[in-house]
Structure 1
């Protein structure tokens, strides 16, 4: 998804690093949510949310490789991705680094474009307006022909719940700018306060679980 769609907030935060997985209470996860590398849709500046979607560009492949190295230390206990091609391609580099398979979770997919699918970003105002409304607390705002904020939150929560049920405590999860940003701002107890952006392979780290809630640990818009 183009940078304009990534509606990210960040702030000057004093954030503690996640403790080792063994030191975490039962049921608590430290989840690293990574945006995919540059895709052909990013370059074209269009809304492309349908599966399988466009692939990574050559630059996107380079970004994905660098992200794979970055997130391989400490070694995650699982690698997950949305069903879209660009996230699966990005995740594969980390999977190869740590010797884990890429596991697909449908609930991690991008916010569907609805009536704006395939249109230039500058003509997708209704899409942007709805996602921005979710981050301000109005989860009932619906993208024409698509979902509202409650539906996004429910399916993303379900995906993280399934990951937790698998016994994973430090997964790396590859998703999309709009989905990561909207879900994070709707769920963390300590949301940041200044709007910037989440670039390709930028990432967010949260700690907690779907039952007790989430705390923002780190937000890196440009790794």
Structure 2
């Protein structure tokens, strides 16, 4: 089984000095998305699933056109939910992130004031990912190691999601203990490709990371994080 984790292209978080919630892509972001779609055009996906947020839906649009697919939303792929900052000065968000980075390690599980706790976000992604896999015949074995049974190990599925979501999915499938700084642990650029591939063991399957934040399809001037 191969799971291809695609991060959305560059979003316009700030416009005219104010924060934008659920932002659209920048002009550069739309170009990044086109490059990504062209890069993936020769691949075959059983499913392409998309986070409900605007930046992922816009990133997925040229990909779905390439494959003549309809938009399929998976709500659990949504990124961690920020506080309500829309229309506030950009410094408000910048200061909140500075304060978050300055917290002691275990305090970072609380997340940003007024936003989704990182602990709740990780639980949401773990629950959503586990349910998704079970619906696709992939079940975690009663084992202290990350070993799975698979009804169809030939499946290839793409998620169009986010840096945080994709990082937590990576940790979950690789059997790594989650931290409240997954965004920094796995640095994933805009419109990049990360790949997880299953391989067979004597008593099931496990997953290996074969590519992280692949950006070879993007010109150097269009690579952003």
Please confirm whether the aligned pair reaches a TM-score higher than 0.5, indicating the same fold.
Answer: yes
Q: Tell me the residue number matched to 1:105.
A: 74
Q: Which moved more, 1:30-39 or 1:197-206?
A: 197-206
Measure the CA separation in 2 of the matches of 1:183 and 1:57.
26
Asked whether the 8 Å contact 2:50–2:72 carries over to 1, the reply is yes
Measure the CA separation in 2 of the matches of 1:196 and 1:154.
18
SS at match of 2:24: coil
Q: CA 1:57–1:188 in structure 2 vs 1: closer, same or farther (change >3 Å)? A: same
Measure the CA separation in 2 of the matches of 1:196 and 1:97.
28
Residues matched between the structures, number: 184
SS at match of 2:5: strand
In the TM superposition, 1:49-128 aligns within 5 A as: 50=21, 53-114=22-83, 119-120=90-91, 122-123=94-95, 124-128=97-101
Which 4+ runs in 1 deviate beyond 6 A? 42-47
Displacement, 1:46?
Answer: 7.7
In the TM superposition, 1:180-199 aligns within 5 A as: 180-185=166-171, 187-189=173-175, 197-199=187-189
Displacement, 1:186?
Answer: 5.5
CA-to-aligned-CA distance 1:44-98 (integer Å, 9 cap, x gap): 89875x5xx1111221111111111222322111111111111001112111111
TM-score calculated relative to the size of structure 1? 0.65
Find out whether 1:202 has 2:192 as its counterpart. Answer: yes
Find out whether 1:33 has 2:14 as its counterpart. Answer: no
Displacement, 1:195?
Answer: 6.0
**Structure 2 gap ranges (5+):** 138-151, 178-183, 199-203, 217-225
Measure the CA separation in 1 of the matches of 2:192 and 2:15.
17
Asked whether the 8 Å contact 1:79–1:173 carries over to 2, the reply is yes
Asked whether the 8 Å contact 1:76–1:171 carries over to 2, the reply is yes
- Larger relative contact order (C-alpha < 8 A, sep ≥ 6)? 1
**Structure 1 gap ranges (5+):** 1-28
- Bigger Rg over Cα: 2
CA RMSD across the alignment: 3.7
Find out whether 1:175 has 2:143 as its counterpart. Answer: no
Asked whether the 8 Å contact 2:125–2:168 carries over to 1, the reply is no
Measure the CA separation in 2 of the matches of 1:139 and 1:111.
16
Find out whether 1:217 has 2:210 as its counterpart. Answer: yes
SS at match of 1:95: helix
TM-score calculated relative to the size of structure 2? 0.65
Measure the CA separation in 2 of the matches of 1:186 and 1:158.
10
